[in-house]
Chain A
Amino acid sequence: MKPDFELKLQAWLDGELPAAGAEQARRLAAADPEAARLLAELQAIKTAFLDSEQTVTVPESREFYWSKIERQIQREAAVHPALGPSWAERFRRWLAPLAGTAALAAVLLVALNQFKPQQTAFNQVSGMTDEYNPRTFRDNPSGINFVVFQAARQTSAASDVPQPARIRNDGSSFLIEHE
Chain B
Amino acid sequence: MSHPVQPAFLRRFPALCLLALAFHLTALAAPAADLKLEAKMIWGANNRPDTVKYITVDPALAATLRRNFKWTNYYEITNVAAVIPLHQTRLLRLSDRCTVSIQNLGPSLVAVDCLNQGKPISRGTNALPCIYTGTNLDDTAWFIRLRSLDGKSTK
Contacts and interface: CB of A to CB of B under 8 A. Distances in A.
Are A and B a genuine interacting pair, yes or no?
yes
A145 B121 contact: no
Contacts of B124: 123-126, 134, 136, 147
A178 B107 CA distance: 37
B15 A99 contact: yes
B5 to A, nearest CB: 13
Interface in A91-143: 92, 95-96, 98-100, 102-103, 105-106, 109-110, 113, 119-129, 131-132, 134, 136, 139, 141-143
B125 interface: yes
Main secondary structure of the interface of A (DSSP, over half): mixed
Contacts of A134: 122, 124
Nearest to A118: B127
Nearest to A148: B133
A146 B137 contact: no
Given A92-B14, A103-B20, A106-B21, A147 B122 contact: yes
Contacts of A73: none
Q: How large is the interface on A (under 10, 10 to 19, 20 to 34, 35 or more residues)?
A: 35 or more
Contacts, number: 142
Interface string B1-28: 1010000000101110110110011001
A145 B110 CA distance: 12
Interface of A: 85, 89, 92, 95-96, 98-100, 102-103, 105-106, 109-110, 113, 119-129, 131-132, 134, 136, 139, 141-151, 155, 157-158, 161-163, 173-176, 178
| A-B residue pairs, 3 tightest by C-beta | A125-B124, A99-B14, A149-B134
